[in-house]
Amino acid sequence: MIEILTGVLVLAGGVFAVIGGLGVLRLPDVLIRMHASTKIGTLSCGLIVIAAAIHFGDGDITIRSVAILLFLLLTAPIGAHMIGRAAVNTGVPLWSPKKKGDAD
């Protein structure tokens, strides 16, 4: 049963990582790309680390997994905020949706 649970968690983490990669590739703006990469990246890494903690079941590995998750949850929003501020402060052009009737 544990093998099935860890397999599902690793597979879900991999699927979310692919979705995040596609988001970074396809989204139009640096701020939107950053949002996709940090949110989905944290979720996918978290699922894979939880799967490792469940699979090995050792207390030492579980403590390390919790530390990794806390580190991810603390650093990803701070890093995303700093990247966003740097993009806005340096004048990176931002995406603006086309309105009906606008010329190409």
The tokens of 81 are what? 């905020």
What is the average per-residue pLDDT within 36-44?
89
- Contact (Cβ atoms closer than 8 angstroms) between residue 37 and residue 103: no
- pTM equals 0.80
- In this predicted model, which residue has the larger pLDDT, 92 or 3? 3
Q: How far apart are CA 70 and CA 66, in angstroms?
A: 6
How confident is the model over 10-35, as a mean pLDDT?
90
Residue boundaries of the structural domains of the chain:
2-89
> Which one, of 4, 9, 7, lies nearest residue 69 by Cα?
9
